[in-house]
Structure 1
């Protein structure tokens, strides 16, 4: 929450209140990684005043270049997403006056992101280039096109953002392994989004990378598992704050461990409908060695999303799935969720765009791993030797 609020306040501080609507959980990873690598000094956190999104409570929030880099990335990618919706004519954006206003907002966000990126030494052109190339690649892709050709622009963009956190934290030696971790994180995000949207895309006639390239679910799962393993191996090479590396936990790296080792595996299992133990043994990253159901932490564009049957009706029970909201309707729903604190505090709420069921980000952890009696899996204690993530 400190990083989420820090991203939100960085957006407000540099770009005004309206920019806060692009706050997202993928973006806060940039802030998390930056702080986890830095030497523990003062200045990384501050006490923020009361906010209606926190029930008018104060909070310790992240600040500094990590939060500003996260803000820059979020703005540029949100700008690209709005432009994409305009091109597709989604919902109200099919109307010319609304589309014109949306284009102006997208252009404003793109310029704002570029300015903030420049302030922290990050060239957002790599993100814009990736978005532009994505459109061309999807236009040309067809049956037989390798799926990794389609995911490449996303991989390139996330690799650049992850790698720059090493520069901000004063750990240039971490840039290479973090670029690899970011590349694979981008691949995984793209894959999970495609898997989760495959049925709805087929029903609506929307473009889906798995359908377009003829990629089977089994092959998508193999690529996802390879990405998970690659992220874990790459993170083993990262030196965290206070010089901690080689599988030892620092206080700040525990959150990295939870997000990029535990939650990613759970997200894969949720997307592919599998479950199992919370720690996959080395070399066993298939469906039989997977994580159980995660708490939901996602925004519509990130991998921490879920589905399933919240009513427990069994395989034969299929509650109707409501249709997705358009961009502006989703924005209105998102503002309502934030103002009522449901995103933070509700046991369950409906995603503003996808309308999938999600759990509040402050709901209790439901990790039920039993790999070893001494291991408190949710706390990632150092006595745990059954996790192979290397953090």
Structure 2
């Protein structure tokens, strides 16, 4: 979900190799701390935790030279040190997520009978290692483990309650996030969508908030927890949207069906969370805001755009999978000689195909143009930045986000303004 677009790095004046440096550092951190098998737990979404930690410290952190790797075309590279605090936090998140994912596969019956016992063993080992890793960086994972344990009970209660006639979405906290694990047994008969996404929100809020603690920026904890809570909600809802058709075909649980939430409402919730993340990022004291925009905000905008395009909504500035836009594809490793580069595949949602798009969207919260970098004085002439949350909304409702001529200069984007 959080793979930045390579061409956006140049727009922000950022080395596009930073994302790879953080991912390789995470992979090596898992290997050094937990063995070769743990490298399979490398989670690309967890990389943003390492990026956020560095973004609050004011420097690029320690780097080390990694040996040749097939994913880098057998080239050496300068990567984030495996013992960096952000990498250790990302490793903790990767192990927790990997353990939960394996356990879900076993419980859902996706694994063969003979594979279930070794998969449970790996899941248990990774969960234990995650707790040990968390202890080294002062992170209390017990609330997260308790929240994860309630997920199955919440889904069971929602399934037993039946589908309500209308979607019921619990109120969002106006500021910060409660870091108390939900009590499935204390909930009423009707389970809301916020109840079902609550464990994911809590885990993400805890992890994101701890980046501020590791960076020595306690004043950022609340803002980062808010960002994490909404990232968690987006992740859960995006997964539900993507799996909706498949879950219906297989008769499996899906939070959208369980709460009677239709696709437009799900899209609206994702959009609200994406806007909240942008405002929280503007409130936080981040020393490397362009890097955060590139690694976190832009990928979320791209996800929002893909969902909107899949629903047939009018959202502009979409870089389609044309020959020109192929160089705008999400960040990927260089292909070995003689091999064609891997292309990102389409995303299915509710029977609709969501094409592959990259993002050119910037944040109205800091009042700059996504295409020219103009400050508010010039930018606001074409867009009311105080009344819209992103430039996808500007393109759809009030103005051209791409300039007077409706395109982005030499970026090759296909603007639908």
Q: Scaled by the length of structure 2, what TM-score is found?
A: 0.67
- Tell me which of 45, 60, 64 is aligned to 1:26: 45
- Are the structure 2 counterparts of residues 136 and 338 from structure 1 closer, same or farther at C-alpha, using a change threshold of 3 Å? farther
Deviation at 1:274, TM superposition (A): 5.3
**In 2, Cα distance between the equivalents of 1:24 and 1:358?**
23
DSSP 3-state at the match of 2:65: strand
Q: Secondary structure at the match of 2:53?
A: helix
**Matched-pair contact (CA < 8 Å) for 2:73–2:336:** yes
1:78 corresponds to 2:68: no
Assess, with a 3 A threshold, how the Cα gap between structure 1 residues 119 and 369 changes in structure 2: closer, same or farther: closer
CA RMSD of aligned residues (A): 3.5
Q: 1:129: how far off?
A: 1.4
1:102-117 alignment, distance < 5 Å? 102-117=119-134
Report the counterpart of residue 296 of structure 2 in structure 1.
260
Identify the residue that residue 244 of structure 1 maps to in structure 2.
none
Give 1:240's match in structure 2, choosing from 274, 286, 304: 286
Corresponding residue for residue 292 of structure 1:
318
Whichever of the two has the greater Rg, that structure is 2
Deviation at 1:24, TM superposition (A): 1.6
Give the C-alpha shift of residue 368 in structure 1.
Answer: 6.1
Q: Residues 211-360 of structure 1 correspond to what in structure 2 (within 5 A)?
A: 211-241=257-287, 252-273=288-309, 287-289=313-315, 292-293=318-319, 346-348=341-343
- Number of equivalences: 314
Kept in 2: contact 1:5–1:61 (CA 8 A): yes
Aligned to 1:318: none
**Cα pair 1:269 1:293 within 8 Å, conserved:** no
Q: Deviations over 1:274-313 (max 9, x none)?
A: 599xxxxxxxxxx545652589xxxxxxxx99xxxxxxxx
> Structure 1 169/382 Cα, relative in aligned 2: closer, same or farther at 3 Å?
farther
Aligned to 1:3: 22
What is the distance in 1 between the residues matched to 2:77 and 2:340?
15
In structure 2, the CA distance between the partners of 1:253 and 1:369, relative to structure 1 (3 Å rule), is closer
Question: Hey, what's the Cα distance between the residues in 2 that align with 1:119 and 1:370?
Answer: 36
Q: Deviations over 1:40-78 (max 9, x none)?
A: 26x432222221221111112123010011001110111
Gaps of 5+ in 1: 242-251, 277-286, 296-303, 306-336, 360-364
d(CA) in 2 for partners of 1:72, 1:370 = 30
Deviations 1:80-137 (A, max 9, x none): 1111111122132xx1x32111111111111111111110111222221121111111
The offset of 1:196, in angstroms, is: 1.0
CA gap of 1:133–1:338, structure 2 versus 1, over 3 A, is farther
